[in-house]
Amino acid sequence: MQIHVVQPGESIFEIAQIYNSTVSAIVGANEVPNPNQLVVGQTLVIPIVGSYYWVQPGDSLYNIGQRFGISYQELARVNMIPVNQPLRVGLRLYIPPGPKRRAEINAYVEPIGDTVTPALEES
């Protein structure tokens, strides 16, 4: 869970994009009477699907991005930090979830009533 304080000009859609979330997930986690009328300074609970990483000595956005399979530009964007800003050791970075992998299935279904082939019996 993440807390977001609404800034001037922000919409719930933009906030959802920042955190790689959805409008319905944010509305569902908060008592928002009208999601189209956010108030500056209002706090919103953002359900988090990704993970966090704490910056270690020698880390950069680039090498952290490489480690987690995300571009350094996207890592900077979701954490709202400038791309060229040196990272402070101990800084907590949000790592959004990667794309869902396609499941690969390799199966053999033996027809009903058939017997095991001789090649399989020899094994």
pLDDT tens column, 77-92: 989 899 998 999 999 9
Range of the domain at 19: 1-48
**How far is residue 36's CA from residue 79's CA, in Å, rounded to a whole number?**
24
Are the CB atoms for 20 and 59 separated by under 8 Å? no
As a whole number, the mean pLDDT across the chain is 85
Dmax (CA) for the chain in angstroms is 75
Residues 42 and 64 in one domain: no
Tokens linked to 41: 């300074």
Cα dihedral 29, 33, 38, 42 sign: negative
pLDDT classification of 44: cutoffs 50, 70, 90: very high
Give the long-range contacts of residues 113-119, CB within 8 A, separation 24 or more: none
Number of domains in the chain: 2
41 within a domain of the structure (yes/no): yes
